[in-house]
Every structure is written in C-alpha cells, then in structure tokens.
Amino acid sequence: MKSKNLSEKILRSVKSKGFKYIELPSVVETNHIVQRSGENFRKFIFSFSDQNGNELCLRPDLTIVSCLRYLENNFKGKEKIFYSGQAYRKSQNKKDSIIRDQIGFEIIGSKNEKIDDKEIINTSLNSLTKLKYSSGKLTLGNVEIFNLLISKLDIPKRWKLRLCRHFWREDYFNDLLKRLETNSDVDPTIVEIDKKRYLKMLKEDKSSIIAGRSIEEILIRFDNKIKDPRRASKGKKCI
C-alpha cells in the first residue's frame, strides 16, 4: 500500500506538468523487443506463439512498449506521456520477482532534445521534492554520452561505428573490447591470411553469398580496412 501511494503521488505530480496518461498493451510482438534490445535479451522475456504462429511476449518493460506505441501508430510531432503498470521479466538473480511495478514518463518526438531533457530532469526532481524520503538518487542514463566518448577515441571510423552499433549486445561488445585490448585483429599473420583471401575473392563471382554476405560486400569491407588500418596499441593498460 505504501508503494502504491508513493506511485500515485509521483504520477499526480507528473500529470500536473502537462503529461498525458496512456494505456499500454500487456502483450507485444517478440521480434519488436529483440530488435531493439538485442538477441541476448530474449532469455529474459516470457514468450509464446498465438494461433497463427506469431511469436508474442508479455511486456518486459513499459518504456520500450511506449516507444513502440508511438512508432506503430505513426504519431507525428512531440508527445508528453506517462504510464504505470506491471512488467514481466526474468532475472539472473533467482531471488528477484518476475513481476515489476513500473511507472515512467517520456517526451517522444522531441525537436529540441536539450530543452526536453531538461524538462524531464526538472519534472523528476520536482516529483521527488514533494515526497517524504530519507535519501534518494537520480541516475542519468544517456547513450549519447557513450557515443561521444567513442567519437574521441583514436581508432578507425569502422571500429567506432561497430562499438556504437553493438553496445547493446553484451557478449559481442565484450568480445570487441578484448580484440581491441589484445590487438588480435592486427596480428601480422592473420592480416596476411586475410589479404590472400581478398586476392582470391577478387576473381570470384561478386554476387556469391558467404556467411550471409555477398563477396562484393566482403571486398568493400576489407578495402576499407586496408585504407583505414588500426594501429597496434603500445600504451599502458589502465586497471
């Protein structure tokens, strides 16, 4: 009951700032979730197939579903929304509940992210100041900060794009970091083998498919790698 009263106070405060309450579906297409959260996220969701063979799942997170709602309904322009309800997600910690009560608010379709980000932060702080609590923490999670960090690194453009694109795929992302740390991708022996394969592929049918990619795509990728090589790291490793 205490948690419910707390949620209601927060939601009233958010509503007073011009946010509109929306209802969200409890069941969504699994593919929509996996595409945006990564294949690794599949093991945390509760999925099933309907009578037509479509794979569906219980909503694992209300924020994701609110964004899907905006996209699927082809909404245009800025929308200030808030929502509440239960999300269903497995956890690596067996003691955690699979049912999570969640509330949230968003500004979707923003034309000025700085101004709207500031409004979100101010609304959060305003909601907290109206509550009685002994301590609390406001966490800002903005992937743009990560992208800015990557853009400053002294590595080839293709590696910057790769790190940003696969940030959400934890296992593969960690593998990329290990390759950067160990210089395995700039090993002279491996590079020489790649060059031999490259010269051989130049003589083959460019439309042939290898591991899901055409030979033409592979050649373009390797050509970029040759023109923009990554230097072996010689600096001290930071712990």
Q: How confident is the model at residue 229 (pLDDT cuts 50, 70, 90)?
A: low
**Residue (of 186, 190, 194) closest to 219 by Cα position:** 194
The 8-class DSSP code of residue 187 comes to: -
pLDDT at residue 120, as a whole number? 93
pLDDT at residue 83, as a whole number? 96
3-class state of residue 126 by DSSP: helix
Averaging pLDDT over each range in 78-87, 137-146, 176-185, 202-211, which range is the top one? 78-87
> Is residue 228 over pLDDT 70?
no
For residues 197 and 166, the model is more confident at 166
Mean pLDDT of 190-209: 75
Fold of 2-140: BirA Bifunctional Protein; domain 2 (3.30.930)
> Is residue 223 over pLDDT 70?
no
pLDDT at residue 238, as a whole number? 46
| Model confidence pLDDT, tens digit, residues 74-125 | 888 899 999 999 999 998 888 889 999 999 999 999 999 889 999 999 999 8
> Is residue 175 over pLDDT 50?
yes
Residue ranges, comma separated, of all CATH 3.30.930.10 domains in the chain are 2-140
| Model confidence pLDDT, tens digit, residues 49-58 | 999 999 999 9
> Is residue 186 over pLDDT 80?
no
pLDDT at residue 192, as a whole number? 65
pLDDT at residue 239, as a whole number? 41
pLDDT at residue 27, as a whole number? 95
pLDDT above 70 coverage of the chain, percent: 86
- Mean pLDDT, the chain, rounded, equals 83
100 vs 44: CA distance, rounded Å: 13
Q: How many CB atoms lie within 10 A of CB 66?
A: 20
Mean pLDDT of 58-69: 93
Q: What is the value of pTM for the model shown? A: 0.60
Q: How many CB atoms lie within 10 A of CB 91?
A: 11
For residues 36 and 63, the model is more confident at 63
**Cα-Cα-Cα-Cα dihedral sign, residues 43, 47, 48, 50:** negative
pLDDT at residue 235, as a whole number? 44
For 6-20, 112-126, 208-222, which range has the lowest pLDDT when averaged over its residues? 208-222
